[in-house]
Amino acid sequence: MKLSLRRDASNCARVVILITSFFLLSACGDSHEDSSPQAVARAACSALTNTAVPAASIGLPTTGAKVVSATFFTADTAGNADGEYCKVLGVISPVDPSALNINFEVNLPSTWNGKALQLGGAASDGVLVTGLGIYPGATATAATPVAQGYVTFGSDSGHQGTSDKSFISNQESFHNFGGDQIKKTHDSALALAQIRYGKKSQYTYFIGGSQGGHEAFIAVQRYPQDYDGAVAMYPTYNSALLQLASNAFAKTIYGNAGAGWLDPNKIALLQNAVYNTCDGLDGVKDGIISNVAACQAEFTIQTVQQTLRCPGGTDAGDTCLSDTQIAAVNTLDSPFKLDFPLADGQQTFPHWSILEGAKFLTGFGASRTPSHPPAATDAFQYLISDPSVRYYFTNNPNIDSINGFNPDDYQPQIVAVSTVLETTNPDISAFKARGGKLILLHGTADEAVSPYNTINYYNQMISTLGQASLDQFVRFYIVPGFGHGSGIFNAQWDPLTVIDSWVTQGNTPGTLTASDGNKGATRSRPLCVYPAWPKYNGSGDINSVSSFSCATS
């Protein structure tokens, strides 16, 4: 091992020497040769072409990584918002020759601030995370991370395509998706950054939403020594249980020939009733339900039965809900429980926020009859869970996930899959010990992942580490009206600035300010540290953050 590490260090040094020698020879050459900073940066970028990162430089088994291309972009390149930088595309090769490569991108700004940012993916990954442009949570006017001087990087997680999950048949590819790719990409990208700049990154962060939020948990839980800070937004952290709960959602609305399905008019009827009751409970009717606890007390399934039930309980059109449809709403408003625990002991998924502000206006799909395989017009929970049932849980691409799948029949396979996918360990004390900081954020109106999923994880961290300890390095924000990366209130708050300020300057975040990123919106709200929520002060502009205070009652 010592010999291989020495050889690796020698290889890296040789590349740096070659790059440096190039510049020294250029300086001794024709006096008319361009030695401007831009020319130097362009040459350094070009020198990275075909650079190899030895397997010994990567902390998990691979056969090494290699640069496929290195392209230099000037700040005035058309459509470029990232300033002057070098775009490096590379591949990380597997140990198993039948496994898939991990494709990755690392962007190297000409003027580096000494910091690096890894960005997470979305859904089932399968699309290259470029690290360019605006990142999740950023305001539209914020400078991009690369333009700010950050090295940024991401990958496709080791497979291509968002809906085909057949890559699970190869164990190395599946483990890459399950989290190994985070470490492999991190090590490969930062090795190239060290070659380019001749020094290591001083601070490294991870930011992601949805699957990327799940991957932020992977970074913090499995590789705490690699990261100084992480931001996990609306994370799908307990993936296997989420997929099974989503399958149960799909069965609820599509089973029994779609008797529990609600068309868009019926969903609007239900949501209008919820908002008419709950919108003003935070002090102002502004289209956002902020006092969720009060809403839970005021609008229950009994309220639905008393105010929206069709006469006799049979379906009488879009002005009421049948007994079967009310039963479906009740099922979605209740926790889903497996008959057996997953590998990490998780067994129960919390209720969906269908009676608390998550509108589900298109979440039930366009028809009571789903497509096989799913189509874009089907219910979202069916769209994401059906491929998981077919490939993850049953290894049967032809199974009917609505009528032909019972988790009890596939317990060993489901538990095995959860071993790879789950990131539910609440003990992140190793991350704290190295000085790491973590920000969690979830919206109350999330239709894709229940906000109570993240609340449950936060409460487990409190039970494990204690509130006082947790407060030293974790902040949790629940955002009223915010959904799964969008929503009635599309929260934008520049998380990179917040996490960097906390890590590098010790500025512990408290109440923050978020602007509404929806087109034409001009309003702002406080981001309140959980369990507080924005309460209207009773006077002032309802679109101004100054008119709201964080409250717990």
pLDDT at 348: 96
Q: Which pLDDT does position 14 carry in this prediction? A: 43
21-29's contacts with Cβ under 8 Å and 24+ in sequence apart are 22/47
The partner residues of 232 in beta bridges, in order of sequence, read 208, 440
**Cα 406 to Cα 13, 261, 277, 391, 536, distances in angstroms:** 56, 20, 38, 14, 47
Give per-residue pLDDT as tens, 386-439: 999 999 999 999 999 999 999 999 999 999 999 999 899 999 999 999 999 999
Task: Give the separation between CA 136 and CA 152, rounded to whole angstroms.
Answer: 14
Counting every residue, how long is the chain? 553
In the chain, what percentage of residues exceed pLDDT 90?
87
456-466 mean pLDDT: 98
How many C-beta atoms lie closer than 10 Å to residue 318's C-beta? 14
Report the pLDDT averaged over residues 180-201: 98
Tell me the catalytic residues: 210, 446, 484
In the beta sheet, which residues pair with residue 549? 535
Q: What is the pLDDT of residues 277-299, one digit of tens each?
A: 999 999 999 999 999 999 999 99
> If pLDDT is split at 50, 70 and 90, which confidence band does 34 have?
confident
* β-bridge pairing 437-443 and 229-233: parallel
For the stretch 345-357, pLDDT in tens is: 999 999 999 999 9
Determine the average pLDDT of the residues in 447-457: 97
What pLDDT sits at residue 163?
A: 64
Q: What's the pLDDT score for residue 9?
A: 41
| Matching residue, tokens 């102002």 | 284
Under 8 Å between Cβ of 397 and 391: yes
pLDDT tens column, 92-151: 999 999 999 999 999 999 999 999 999 998 877 878 999 999 999 999 899 999 999 999
Q: What is the pLDDT of residues 317-354, one digit of tens each?
A: 999 999 999 999 999 999 999 999 999 899 999 999 99
What does the pLDDT look like over 165-174, one tens digit per residue? 778 889 999 9
Q: Give the mean pLDDT of the chain.
A: 93
What are the distances in angstroms from CA 381 to CA 399, 455, 517? Answer: 17, 20, 25
Residue 30 has pLDDT above 50, yes or no: no
Confidence category of residue 26, pLDDT binned at 50, 70, 90: very low
Classify strands 229-233 and 336-337 as parallel, antiparallel or unpaired: unpaired
Per the omega criterion (within 30 degrees of 0), is the bond before 531 cis? yes
Instruction: Give the single-character DSSP code of 542.
Output: T
Q: Look at 19 and 84; give whichever has higher pLDDT.
A: 84
Residue for token digits 């890590």?
A: 503
Is residue 133 within 8 A of residue 98, CB to CB? The reply is no
DSSP 487: B
Helix (H, G, I), strand (E, B) or coil at 478: strand
User: How far is Cα 356 from Cα 480, in angstroms, rounded to an integer?
Assistant: 10
Check whether 16 has a pLDDT greater than 50: no
Give mean pLDDT, residues 60-69.
Answer: 98
**Domain ranges (residues) in the chain:** 2-201, 241-421, 429-551
Digit-coded pLDDT (tens) for 497-545: 999 999 999 999 999 999 999 999 999 999 999 999 999 999 999 999 9
As a whole number of angstroms, the distance between CA 143 and CA 514 comes to 17
pLDDT at 10 over 60: no
If one counts every other C-beta atom within 10 angstroms of the C-beta of residue 43, the result is: 16
What percentage of the chain exceeds 70 in pLDDT? Answer: 94
CA distances from 151 to 93, 131, 354 (A): 22, 9, 40
> How sure is the predictor about 240, in pLDDT bands with cuts at 50, 70 and 90?
very high
From residue 142, how far is each of 122, 125, 522 by CA, in Å?
22, 25, 16
pLDDT at 32: 55
Distances (CA, A) of 6 to 10, 126, 191, 198, 359: 6, 35, 15, 17, 58
Q: How many CB atoms lie within 10 A of CB 410?
A: 19
Residue 373: cis peptide before it, omega within 30 degrees of 0: yes
Averaged pLDDT, 437-456: 98
pTM of the model: 0.92
